[in-house]
């Protein structure tokens, strides 16, 4: 089992959840209205007067066989809408309840 953390522009709203569901992943935890700035390029998303856009984030525990499809779907979305900003990271889950 792996954890996937996805940080994304608020403009995606429900699209990321729909992407997970389309790939067979049901469970997730979402954080809304979070700030951040990408490490490579793009504008900050801080929710203030100077940088009004914000991000959302999702953490999902995913069975190993679903991870490649989810990550590829996220890569495609990021390529198609590069200016919005989307980052995803995976790591192993050693134990879950």
Beta-carbon neighbour count of residue 86 at 10 Å?
21
| Alpha carbons within 13 A on the beta-carbon side of 92 | 1
Q: Assess if residue 62 is contained within a domain.
A: yes
Strand ranges, E, within 10-65: 29-34, 55-62
Q: How far is CA 22 from CA 42, 52, 94, in A?
A: 28, 30, 26
In 3D, which of 45, 60, 36, 49 has the Cα closest to residue 11?
Answer: 45
In this prediction, residue 85 carries a pLDDT of 83
Q: Assess if residue 97 is contained within a domain.
A: no
Domains identified in the chain, total number: 1
DSSP assignment of 51-95 equals S---EEEEEEEE-GGGHHHHHHHHHHHHHHTTTT-EEEEEEE---
In this prediction, residue 58 carries a pLDDT of 97
- Name the more confident of 39 and 31: 31
pTM: predicted TM-score of the whole model, two decimal places: 0.89
Arithmetic mean of pLDDT, 42-63: 83
The CATH number of whichever domain residue 39 belongs to comes to 3.30.70.120
Q: Mean pLDDT over all residues of the chain?
A: 90
Per-residue pLDDT at 52 exceeds 80: no
**Parent domain of 11:** 2-92
- State the pLDDT confidence band at 94, using cuts at 50, 70 and 90: very high
């Amino acid at each position: 089992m792996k954890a996937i953390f996805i940080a994304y522009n608020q403009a995606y709203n429900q699209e990321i959840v729909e992407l997970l569901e389309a790939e067979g992943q049901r469970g997730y935890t979402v954080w809304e209205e979070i700030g951040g700035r990408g490490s490579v390029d793009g504008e900050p998303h801080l929710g203030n007067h100077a940088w009004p856009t914000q991000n959302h984030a999702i953490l999902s525990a995913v069975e190993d066989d679903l991870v490649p499809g989810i990550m590829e779907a996220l890569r495609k979305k990021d390529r198609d809408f590069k200016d919005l900003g989307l980052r995803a990271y995976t790591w192993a889950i050693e134990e879950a309840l």
